[in-house]
Structure 1
Amino acid sequence: MARICAVCGKGPSTGNNVSHANNKTKRRWLPNLQTVRVLGADGQPTRIRVCTSCISAGKITKAPARKATAPGQG
């Protein structure tokens, strides 16, 4: 499962950790991805990984909450 937003395509970026002695080691910054249930093109809910900036911007339509089942029914 790739760490890429399904909406905007945002993925990991690279850079360096820099110590006080100016030693540099490679590192990665990962996007803040959340798995959300969204309505697909066919109207059925599916799960996709979306970055929080797309969720905040309203670029997705969340699926309605599932109905809770009564105790002992599920």
Structure 2
Amino acid sequence: MSRRCDLTGKSALVGHKVSHSNRKTKRRFLPNLLNVTVISDALARSVKLRISANALKSVDHRGGLDAYLLAAKSEVLAPRLRTLKKEIEKKLAKAS
């Protein structure tokens, strides 16, 4: 399981830990990933995701998982969420 957010694509970054004497050693900056169950209103089911805390705040701000996925670019999303986005678009198109 990679350390990558399913929604935003955030992953580990590499940088330096700098000591007081200005000595530099490699370190990794890991994203704050959470295992979350989010409900899709259009599909009326829950989806388990591994997303960053920042993405969770963004989902709440945009008004739920469906609204977030419809506004998100498909290139950033995980393959599993791309198919979920297509299912939501089909369901909403059928309802209209």
TM-score, normalization by structure 1: 0.69
Q: Secondary structure at the match of 1:57?
A: helix
How many aligned residue pairs are there? 61
1-structure distance, mates of 2:10, 2:52: 8
1:2 is matched with which residue?
Answer: 2
2-structure distance, mates of 1:43, 1:3: 28
Higher helix share: 2
1-structure distance, mates of 2:58, 2:45: 22
* Percent identity between the two aligned chains: 38
Cα distance, 1:45 vs structure 2: 2.2
**CA deviation string 1:5-58 (max 9, x = no partner):** 000100011100111111110001111111011246854423210011111012
TM-score, normalization by structure 2: 0.55
2-structure distance, mates of 1:43, 1:14: 40
1-structure distance, mates of 2:11, 2:21: 30
Q: For structure 2, which runs of at least 5 residues remain unmatched after alignment?
A: 66-96
1-structure distance, mates of 2:38, 2:57: 14
2:21 is matched with which residue?
Answer: 21
Aligned structure 1 segments of 4 or more residues deviating by more than 2 angstroms: 38-46
Q: Which amino acid aligns with 2:51?
A: V
Higher strand share: 1
